[in-house]
Amino acid sequence: MNLYEELCVLVGKDKASINETILRHHSGDESHHAKVEPNVVVFPESTEDVQKIAAFANDRKVPLVPYGAGSGLEGQAIPIKKGISMSFERMASIIDIKPEDLTVKVQPGITRLKLNDELKKYGLFFPVDPGADASIGGMAATNASGTLAVRYGVMRDQILNMEVVLADGRVIQTGSMAKKSSSGYHLNGLFIGSEGTLGIFTKITLKLHGIPESITAARCTFSSIRSCVDAAASILTAGIPIARIELVDARSIKQVNHFSETDFPEEHSLFLEFHGNKSGNEEDINFVKTIVEDMGCGSFVFETDSLKRAHLWKARHDLHYAFSHSYPDLSILSTDVCVPISKLPEIVEYTRNQLNTYGLDGGVLGHVGDGNFHTALLYNSHDPDEMKKVNRFNRELVSYALKVGGTCTGEHGVGFGKIQFQKEEHGPALDVMISIKKMFDPNDILNPGKILPES
Protein backbone atom coordinates (compact mmCIF):
# COMPACT_ATOMS: atom_id res chain seq x y z
CA MET A 1 0.00 0.00 0.00
CA ASN A 2 1.19 3.56 -0.65
CA LEU A 3 1.03 6.40 1.90
CA TYR A 4 -2.45 7.51 0.79
CA GLU A 5 -3.88 4.01 0.97
CA GLU A 6 -2.38 3.42 4.39
CA LEU A 7 -3.91 6.69 5.68
CA CYS A 8 -7.30 5.74 4.20
CA VAL A 9 -7.17 2.49 6.18
CA LEU A 10 -5.99 4.35 9.29
CA VAL A 11 -8.60 7.13 9.51
CA GLY A 12 -11.06 6.44 6.69
CA LYS A 13 -11.19 7.24 2.96
CA ASP A 14 -13.21 10.45 3.56
CA LYS A 15 -10.43 11.95 5.73
CA ALA A 16 -7.53 11.65 3.25
CA SER A 17 -7.07 13.05 -0.23
CA ILE A 18 -4.66 13.09 -3.17
CA ASN A 19 -6.95 15.21 -5.34
CA GLU A 20 -4.77 17.52 -7.47
CA THR A 21 -6.70 20.67 -6.52
CA ILE A 22 -6.53 19.83 -2.83
CA LEU A 23 -2.80 19.03 -2.96
CA ARG A 24 -2.20 22.35 -4.74
CA HIS A 25 -4.35 24.23 -2.20
CA HIS A 26 -2.10 22.89 0.59
CA SER A 27 1.18 23.62 -1.19
CA GLY A 28 1.70 27.25 -0.22
CA ASP A 29 0.81 30.23 1.94
CA GLU A 30 0.52 34.00 1.40
CA SER A 31 4.29 34.50 1.35
CA HIS A 32 6.77 34.82 -1.51
CA HIS A 33 8.09 31.31 -0.74
CA ALA A 34 7.97 28.64 -3.45
CA LYS A 35 5.07 26.19 -3.25
CA VAL A 36 5.62 22.47 -2.55
CA GLU A 37 2.78 19.96 -2.76
CA PRO A 38 2.34 17.36 0.00
CA ASN A 39 1.97 13.68 -0.94
CA VAL A 40 -1.33 13.46 0.91
CA VAL A 41 -3.69 15.86 2.69
CA VAL A 42 -5.54 14.54 5.77
CA PHE A 43 -8.63 16.08 7.39
CA PRO A 44 -8.76 14.92 11.02
CA GLU A 45 -12.09 15.37 12.81
CA SER A 46 -10.98 14.62 16.37
CA THR A 47 -7.99 14.51 18.72
CA GLU A 48 -8.01 10.73 18.26
CA ASP A 49 -7.60 11.16 14.48
CA VAL A 50 -4.63 13.48 15.06
CA GLN A 51 -3.09 11.00 17.53
CA LYS A 52 -3.41 8.11 15.06
CA ILE A 53 -1.92 10.09 12.19
CA ALA A 54 0.97 11.43 14.33
CA ALA A 55 1.85 7.98 15.69
CA PHE A 56 1.68 6.60 12.13
CA ALA A 57 3.88 9.36 10.69
CA ASN A 58 6.34 8.91 13.55
CA ASP A 59 6.45 5.17 12.98
CA ARG A 60 6.96 5.61 9.20
CA LYS A 61 9.21 8.70 9.60
CA VAL A 62 6.96 10.68 7.24
CA PRO A 63 6.87 14.52 7.54
CA LEU A 64 3.64 15.85 9.11
CA VAL A 65 2.82 19.52 8.48
CA PRO A 66 -0.20 21.23 10.15
CA TYR A 67 -2.25 23.53 7.88
CA GLY A 68 -4.63 26.18 9.24
CA ALA A 69 -5.85 29.02 7.02
CA GLY A 70 -2.74 29.12 4.82
CA SER A 71 -2.20 32.79 5.64
CA GLY A 72 1.37 32.43 6.96
CA LEU A 73 4.14 34.70 5.70
CA GLU A 74 7.26 32.56 6.23
CA GLY A 75 6.27 29.23 4.67
CA GLN A 76 5.32 27.54 7.95
CA ALA A 77 2.53 25.51 6.30
CA ILE A 78 4.52 24.56 3.19
CA PRO A 79 5.51 20.85 3.25
CA ILE A 80 9.00 21.52 1.93
CA LYS A 81 9.95 17.87 2.58
CA LYS A 82 6.67 16.56 1.17
CA GLY A 83 4.78 14.04 3.31
CA ILE A 84 1.42 14.69 4.99
CA SER A 85 -0.34 18.05 5.17
CA MET A 86 -2.81 18.04 8.08
CA SER A 87 -5.71 20.44 7.43
CA PHE A 88 -7.81 21.61 10.38
CA GLU A 89 -10.82 22.72 8.35
CA ARG A 90 -12.95 20.02 10.02
CA MET A 91 -11.69 20.95 13.49
CA ALA A 92 -12.78 24.59 13.38
CA SER A 93 -15.54 25.05 15.94
CA ILE A 94 -16.05 26.76 19.26
CA ILE A 95 -16.14 24.14 22.02
CA ASP A 96 -17.13 26.22 25.03
CA ILE A 97 -17.62 29.93 25.78
CA LYS A 98 -17.43 30.91 29.47
CA PRO A 99 -18.40 34.62 29.64
CA GLU A 100 -18.18 34.63 33.46
CA ASP A 101 -14.55 33.46 33.24
CA LEU A 102 -13.75 35.56 30.16
CA THR A 103 -12.48 32.43 28.38
CA VAL A 104 -13.34 30.39 25.29
CA LYS A 105 -12.16 26.91 24.24
CA VAL A 106 -11.84 26.43 20.48
CA GLN A 107 -10.57 23.95 17.93
CA PRO A 108 -7.46 25.18 16.08
CA GLY A 109 -9.08 25.55 12.65
CA ILE A 110 -11.47 28.38 13.59
CA THR A 111 -10.46 31.78 12.19
CA ARG A 112 -10.25 34.97 14.25
CA LEU A 113 -13.10 36.77 12.44
CA LYS A 114 -15.49 33.82 12.80
CA LEU A 115 -14.60 33.61 16.49
CA ASN A 116 -15.18 37.33 17.06
CA ASP A 117 -18.53 37.24 15.24
CA GLU A 118 -19.68 34.69 17.81
CA LEU A 119 -18.13 36.50 20.80
CA LYS A 120 -19.88 39.77 19.89
CA LYS A 121 -23.16 38.24 21.09
CA TYR A 122 -21.67 38.18 24.59
CA GLY A 123 -20.18 41.68 24.49
CA LEU A 124 -16.75 40.07 24.36
CA PHE A 125 -13.88 40.01 21.87
CA PHE A 126 -10.55 38.31 21.20
CA PRO A 127 -7.96 41.04 20.61
CA VAL A 128 -5.15 39.39 18.63
CA ASP A 129 -5.59 40.66 15.06
CA PRO A 130 -2.98 39.83 12.42
CA GLY A 131 -3.79 41.28 9.01
CA ALA A 132 -5.12 38.02 7.62
CA ASP A 133 -8.17 36.12 8.84
CA ALA A 134 -5.78 33.49 10.23
CA SER A 135 -6.77 30.36 12.13
CA ILE A 136 -6.37 30.43 15.91
CA GLY A 137 -4.15 27.34 15.67
CA GLY A 138 -1.87 29.04 13.18
CA MET A 139 -1.80 32.19 15.28
CA ALA A 140 -0.77 30.12 18.32
CA ALA A 141 1.86 28.29 16.25
CA THR A 142 3.54 31.54 15.19
CA ASN A 143 2.85 33.55 18.38
CA ALA A 144 1.00 36.01 16.14
CA SER A 145 -0.01 39.50 17.18
CA GLY A 146 -1.27 42.60 15.39
CA THR A 147 -2.48 46.15 15.86
CA LEU A 148 -3.93 45.62 19.37
CA ALA A 149 -0.86 43.92 20.89
CA VAL A 150 0.43 47.21 22.32
CA ARG A 151 -2.55 47.12 24.70
CA TYR A 152 -3.64 43.46 24.96
CA GLY A 153 -0.46 41.51 24.24
CA VAL A 154 0.39 38.70 21.81
CA MET A 155 -0.94 35.14 21.45
CA ARG A 156 1.37 33.90 24.20
CA ASP A 157 -0.31 36.33 26.59
CA GLN A 158 -3.80 35.21 25.59
CA ILE A 159 -3.63 31.41 25.85
CA LEU A 160 -4.44 29.69 29.13
CA ASN A 161 -4.20 26.08 28.04
CA MET A 162 -3.76 23.88 24.99
CA GLU A 163 -4.37 20.22 24.26
CA VAL A 164 -1.32 19.10 22.31
CA VAL A 165 -0.64 15.84 20.46
CA LEU A 166 3.05 14.89 20.63
CA ALA A 167 5.04 13.22 17.84
CA ASP A 168 4.42 9.75 19.27
CA GLY A 169 0.67 10.34 19.62
CA ARG A 170 0.56 11.11 23.35
CA VAL A 171 -1.82 13.91 24.41
CA ILE A 172 -0.94 16.52 27.04
CA GLN A 173 -2.47 19.66 28.55
CA THR A 174 0.04 22.53 28.55
CA GLY A 175 -1.62 24.75 31.17
CA SER A 176 -4.78 25.06 33.25
CA MET A 177 -7.95 27.17 33.42
CA ALA A 178 -6.43 29.33 36.18
CA LYS A 179 -5.52 32.88 35.13
CA LYS A 180 -2.02 32.44 36.57
CA SER A 181 0.07 29.52 37.79
CA SER A 182 3.52 28.76 39.25
CA SER A 183 3.06 25.01 38.94
CA GLY A 184 5.58 23.05 36.85
CA TYR A 185 7.39 24.16 33.71
CA HIS A 186 5.73 26.61 31.30
CA LEU A 187 4.88 24.18 28.48
CA ASN A 188 2.21 26.59 27.23
CA GLY A 189 4.79 29.21 26.32
CA LEU A 190 7.14 26.62 24.82
CA PHE A 191 4.53 25.21 22.40
CA ILE A 192 3.17 28.65 21.44
CA GLY A 193 5.43 29.88 18.66
CA SER A 194 6.83 26.40 17.92
CA GLU A 195 5.23 26.39 14.43
CA GLY A 196 4.18 22.74 14.53
CA THR A 197 7.73 21.52 15.18
CA LEU A 198 7.17 20.25 18.77
CA GLY A 199 3.55 19.08 18.77
CA ILE A 200 0.15 19.55 17.15
CA PHE A 201 -2.51 21.69 18.82
CA THR A 202 -5.99 20.14 19.01
CA LYS A 203 -7.73 22.42 21.56
CA ILE A 204 -6.90 25.99 22.61
CA THR A 205 -8.34 27.95 25.56
CA LEU A 206 -8.15 31.72 25.07
CA LYS A 207 -8.61 34.68 27.40
CA LEU A 208 -11.34 37.11 26.32
CA HIS A 209 -11.97 40.80 26.93
CA GLY A 210 -15.11 42.88 27.31
CA ILE A 211 -15.79 45.20 24.36
CA PRO A 212 -14.72 48.61 25.77
CA GLU A 213 -17.47 51.04 26.80
CA SER A 214 -15.86 53.74 24.67
CA ILE A 215 -13.69 53.41 21.55
CA THR A 216 -12.27 56.34 19.57
CA ALA A 217 -9.96 56.17 16.57
CA ALA A 218 -7.88 58.97 15.10
CA ARG A 219 -5.52 59.65 12.19
CA CYS A 220 -2.71 62.16 12.13
CA THR A 221 -0.14 62.99 9.44
CA PHE A 222 3.48 64.08 9.56
CA SER A 223 5.87 65.49 6.99
CA SER A 224 8.57 62.90 7.79
CA ILE A 225 8.40 59.22 8.70
CA ARG A 226 10.89 59.92 11.47
CA SER A 227 8.54 62.36 13.23
CA CYS A 228 5.71 59.79 13.01
CA VAL A 229 7.80 57.36 15.01
CA ASP A 230 9.20 60.00 17.37
CA ALA A 231 5.59 60.94 18.19
CA ALA A 232 4.67 57.29 18.78
CA ALA A 233 7.62 56.87 21.14
CA SER A 234 6.62 60.00 23.10
CA ILE A 235 3.03 58.78 23.47
CA LEU A 236 4.23 55.45 24.84
CA THR A 237 6.79 56.82 27.27
CA ALA A 238 4.10 59.23 28.52
CA GLY A 239 2.39 56.04 29.78
CA ILE A 240 -0.86 56.55 27.87
CA PRO A 241 -2.61 53.14 27.62
CA ILE A 242 -3.13 53.45 23.86
CA ALA A 243 -4.98 50.51 22.28
CA ARG A 244 -3.60 50.90 18.77
CA ILE A 245 -0.81 53.02 17.31
CA GLU A 246 0.05 52.15 13.71
CA LEU A 247 2.52 53.69 11.31
CA VAL A 248 1.40 53.81 7.66
CA ASP A 249 3.88 55.61 5.41
CA ALA A 250 2.85 57.79 2.43
CA ARG A 251 3.60 55.00 -0.07
CA SER A 252 1.33 52.61 1.82
CA ILE A 253 -1.45 55.20 2.20
CA LYS A 254 -1.39 55.65 -1.58
CA GLN A 255 -1.88 51.86 -1.92
CA VAL A 256 -4.65 51.83 0.71
CA ASN A 257 -6.58 54.58 -1.07
CA HIS A 258 -6.24 52.71 -4.35
CA PHE A 259 -7.29 49.30 -2.95
CA SER A 260 -9.77 50.19 -0.19
CA GLU A 261 -11.34 53.22 -1.88
CA THR A 262 -10.40 55.50 0.99
CA ASP A 263 -9.29 59.12 0.60
CA PHE A 264 -6.74 59.42 3.38
CA PRO A 265 -4.20 62.21 2.86
CA GLU A 266 -1.23 60.57 1.16
CA GLU A 267 1.33 61.50 3.79
CA HIS A 268 3.18 59.57 6.49
CA SER A 269 0.48 58.82 9.09
CA LEU A 270 -0.24 57.39 12.50
CA PHE A 271 -3.54 55.53 12.99
CA LEU A 272 -4.55 55.56 16.66
CA GLU A 273 -7.24 53.99 18.83
CA PHE A 274 -8.29 54.50 22.44
CA HIS A 275 -10.19 51.94 24.56
CA GLY A 276 -11.70 52.76 27.95
CA ASN A 277 -14.49 54.73 29.55
CA LYS A 278 -15.71 57.95 27.95
CA SER A 279 -14.08 60.54 30.20
CA GLY A 280 -10.84 58.57 30.51
CA ASN A 281 -10.51 58.38 26.74
CA GLU A 282 -11.24 62.09 26.32
CA GLU A 283 -8.45 62.95 28.76
CA ASP A 284 -6.02 60.56 27.00
CA ILE A 285 -6.96 61.89 23.55
CA ASN A 286 -6.40 65.51 24.55
CA PHE A 287 -3.01 64.55 26.01
CA VAL A 288 -2.07 62.71 22.80
CA LYS A 289 -3.30 65.62 20.67
CA THR A 290 -0.97 68.05 22.48
CA ILE A 291 1.95 65.60 22.12
CA VAL A 292 1.54 65.10 18.36
CA GLU A 293 0.88 68.79 17.76
CA ASP A 294 4.07 69.65 19.65
CA MET A 295 5.82 67.26 17.27
CA GLY A 296 4.47 69.06 14.24
CA CYS A 297 1.64 66.80 13.07
CA GLY A 298 -0.36 68.15 10.13
CA SER A 299 -3.96 66.97 10.30
CA PHE A 300 -5.53 65.24 13.31
CA VAL A 301 -8.83 63.59 12.34
CA PHE A 302 -11.15 61.58 14.61
CA GLU A 303 -13.13 58.53 13.45
CA THR A 304 -15.82 58.33 16.12
CA ASP A 305 -18.42 56.85 13.79
CA SER A 306 -18.14 53.08 14.30
CA LEU A 307 -18.56 52.26 10.60
CA LYS A 308 -15.85 54.70 9.54
CA ARG A 309 -13.66 53.30 12.34
CA ALA A 310 -14.21 49.73 11.14
CA HIS A 311 -13.38 50.87 7.60
CA LEU A 312 -10.16 52.49 8.82
CA TRP A 313 -8.94 49.28 10.46
CA LYS A 314 -10.14 47.06 7.62
CA ALA A 315 -8.05 49.21 5.28
CA ARG A 316 -5.06 48.83 7.61
CA HIS A 317 -5.50 45.06 7.89
CA ASP A 318 -5.83 44.72 4.12
CA LEU A 319 -2.57 46.53 3.42
CA HIS A 320 -0.68 43.36 2.49
CA TYR A 321 -3.43 42.56 -0.04
CA ALA A 322 -3.45 46.18 -1.19
CA PHE A 323 0.08 45.59 -2.44
CA SER A 324 -0.13 41.96 -3.54
CA HIS A 325 -3.44 42.23 -5.44
CA SER A 326 -2.43 45.46 -7.17
CA TYR A 327 0.76 43.92 -8.55
CA PRO A 328 -0.19 40.34 -9.48
CA ASP A 329 3.02 39.88 -11.47
CA LEU A 330 5.31 40.96 -8.64
CA SER A 331 6.29 39.12 -5.47
CA ILE A 332 6.15 40.67 -1.99
CA LEU A 333 8.65 40.15 0.79
CA SER A 334 7.38 41.41 4.14
CA THR A 335 10.10 42.17 6.67
CA ASP A 336 9.16 41.88 10.36
CA VAL A 337 11.93 43.16 12.61
CA CYS A 338 11.12 44.35 16.14
CA VAL A 339 13.45 46.61 18.16
CA PRO A 340 13.50 48.50 21.48
CA ILE A 341 11.27 51.57 21.09
CA SER A 342 14.20 53.98 21.48
CA LYS A 343 15.85 52.46 18.39
CA LEU A 344 12.69 52.55 16.26
CA PRO A 345 12.93 56.09 14.82
CA GLU A 346 16.45 55.53 13.49
CA ILE A 347 15.79 52.08 12.02
CA VAL A 348 12.53 53.12 10.34
CA GLU A 349 14.25 56.12 8.78
CA TYR A 350 17.15 53.84 7.77
CA THR A 351 14.67 51.44 6.12
CA ARG A 352 12.93 54.17 4.13
CA ASN A 353 16.35 55.44 2.97
CA GLN A 354 17.57 51.95 2.06
CA LEU A 355 14.55 51.46 -0.21
CA ASN A 356 15.54 54.61 -2.07
CA THR A 357 19.22 53.68 -2.12
CA TYR A 358 18.48 50.28 -3.65
CA GLY A 359 15.78 51.72 -5.91
CA LEU A 360 13.23 49.28 -4.49
CA ASP A 361 9.47 49.92 -4.31
CA GLY A 362 7.68 49.20 -1.06
CA GLY A 363 5.70 50.54 1.88
CA VAL A 364 6.87 50.89 5.47
CA LEU A 365 4.16 50.24 8.06
CA GLY A 366 3.69 48.57 11.37
CA HIS A 367 2.92 48.27 15.01
CA VAL A 368 5.21 51.00 16.22
CA GLY A 369 3.87 50.79 19.77
CA ASP A 370 5.70 47.47 20.07
CA GLY A 371 8.78 48.52 18.09
CA ASN A 372 7.64 46.18 15.30
CA PHE A 373 7.29 47.28 11.67
CA HIS A 374 7.09 45.75 8.21
CA THR A 375 8.46 46.62 4.78
CA ALA A 376 6.09 45.39 2.09
CA LEU A 377 8.72 45.00 -0.60
CA LEU A 378 7.57 44.65 -4.24
CA TYR A 379 9.96 42.83 -6.55
CA ASN A 380 10.20 40.83 -9.74
CA SER A 381 11.32 37.33 -8.78
CA HIS A 382 12.43 36.72 -12.39
CA ASP A 383 14.96 39.57 -12.22
CA PRO A 384 18.14 38.15 -10.62
CA ASP A 385 19.59 41.63 -10.00
CA GLU A 386 16.48 42.76 -8.16
CA MET A 387 16.44 39.49 -6.19
CA LYS A 388 20.01 40.17 -5.07
CA LYS A 389 19.07 43.69 -3.95
CA VAL A 390 15.97 42.46 -2.08
CA ASN A 391 17.85 39.73 -0.22
CA ARG A 392 20.66 42.13 0.63
CA PHE A 393 18.15 44.76 1.86
CA ASN A 394 16.49 42.12 4.04
CA ARG A 395 19.75 40.75 5.48
CA GLU A 396 21.06 44.25 6.26
CA LEU A 397 17.81 45.27 7.95
CA VAL A 398 17.80 42.16 10.16
CA SER A 399 21.46 42.65 11.10
CA TYR A 400 20.69 46.25 12.06
CA ALA A 401 17.76 45.10 14.24
CA LEU A 402 19.85 42.41 15.95
CA LYS A 403 22.69 44.86 16.57
CA VAL A 404 20.36 47.14 18.57
CA GLY A 405 18.99 44.23 20.64
CA GLY A 406 15.96 43.40 18.50
CA THR A 407 14.62 40.30 16.79
CA CYS A 408 14.36 39.20 13.14
CA THR A 409 10.64 38.51 13.59
CA GLY A 410 8.15 40.29 15.84
CA GLU A 411 5.08 38.33 14.78
CA HIS A 412 5.39 36.43 11.47
CA GLY A 413 7.56 33.64 12.85
CA VAL A 414 10.64 31.94 11.42
CA GLY A 415 9.26 29.27 9.08
CA PHE A 416 12.14 28.65 6.72
CA GLY A 417 12.50 32.24 5.54
CA LYS A 418 14.29 33.34 8.72
CA ILE A 419 16.27 30.23 9.64
CA GLN A 420 19.31 32.00 8.18
CA PHE A 421 19.14 34.55 11.04
CA GLN A 422 18.61 32.18 13.99
CA LYS A 423 22.28 31.61 14.85
CA GLU A 424 23.06 35.34 14.74
CA GLU A 425 20.04 36.13 16.91
CA HIS A 426 20.16 33.34 19.52
CA GLY A 427 23.83 32.38 19.70
CA PRO A 428 24.45 29.42 22.06
CA ALA A 429 20.72 29.35 22.94
CA LEU A 430 20.13 27.91 19.47
CA ASP A 431 21.86 24.68 20.55
CA VAL A 432 19.41 24.45 23.45
CA MET A 433 16.48 24.89 21.04
CA ILE A 434 17.89 22.13 18.81
CA SER A 435 18.14 19.79 21.82
CA ILE A 436 14.52 20.57 22.75
CA LYS A 437 13.41 19.75 19.20
CA LYS A 438 15.32 16.45 19.26
CA MET A 439 13.76 15.55 22.61
CA PHE A 440 10.18 16.19 21.46
CA ASP A 441 10.59 14.92 17.90
CA PRO A 442 13.50 12.43 17.66
CA ASN A 443 12.48 11.31 14.14
CA ASP A 444 12.12 14.91 12.90
CA ILE A 445 8.63 14.34 11.46
CA LEU A 446 6.93 17.46 12.89
CA ASN A 447 7.12 20.24 10.26
CA PRO A 448 10.74 19.38 9.40
CA GLY A 449 12.99 22.12 8.01
CA LYS A 450 11.27 24.94 9.95
CA ILE A 451 12.65 27.34 12.63
CA LEU A 452 15.95 25.49 13.19
CA PRO A 453 18.92 25.02 10.84
CA GLU A 454 19.56 21.42 9.75
CA SER A 455 22.05 19.94 12.21
Q: Binding to a second copy (CB under 8 A): which residues in 367-426?
A: 370-372, 401, 404-414, 418, 421-422, 425-426
- Residue 454 binds a second copy (CB under 8 A): no
Least gap, CB of 410 to a second copy (angstroms): 5
Residue count at the site for a second copy (CB under 8 A)? 99
From residue 126 to residue 165, what is the string marking binding to a second copy with x (rule CB under 8 A)? ----------------xxxx---x---xx-xx--------
Least gap, CB of 60 to a second copy (angstroms): 23
In whole angstroms, what is the distance from residue 349 CA to residue 289 CA? 23
In whole angstroms, what is the distance from residue 250 CA to residue 352 CA? 11
- Residue 233 binds a second copy (CB under 8 A): yes
Between residues 95 and 429, which has the closer beta carbon with respect to a second copy?
Answer: 429
Least gap, CB of 187 to a second copy (angstroms): 6
User: Angle at Cα 303 formed by Cα 299 and Cα 306, nearest 5°?
Assistant: 170
Q: Which of 277, 299, 304, 357 binds a second copy (CB under 8 A)?
A: 277
Q: Which of 5, 41, 4 minimizes the C-alpha distance to 21?
A: 41
Angle between helices 344-358 and 384-403 (to 10 degrees): 160
The stretch among 81-89, 205-213, 218-226, 256-264 that binds a second copy (CB under 8 A) is: 205-213
- Residue 276 binds a second copy (CB under 8 A): yes
Per CB under 8 A, contacts with a second copy among 88-107 are 98-103
32-54 burial string, b = 16+ CB within 10 Å, else e?
bbeebbbbbbbbbeebebbbbbb
Q: Which of 1, 183, 384, 385 binds a second copy (CB under 8 A)?
A: 183
3-state helix, strand, coil in the chain (%, to 5): 40, 20, 40
From residue 61 to residue 80, what is the string marking binding to a second copy with x (rule CB under 8 A)? --------------------
The stretch among 26-34, 86-94, 166-174, 262-270 that binds a second copy (CB under 8 A) is: 166-174
- Residue 339 binds a second copy (CB under 8 A): yes
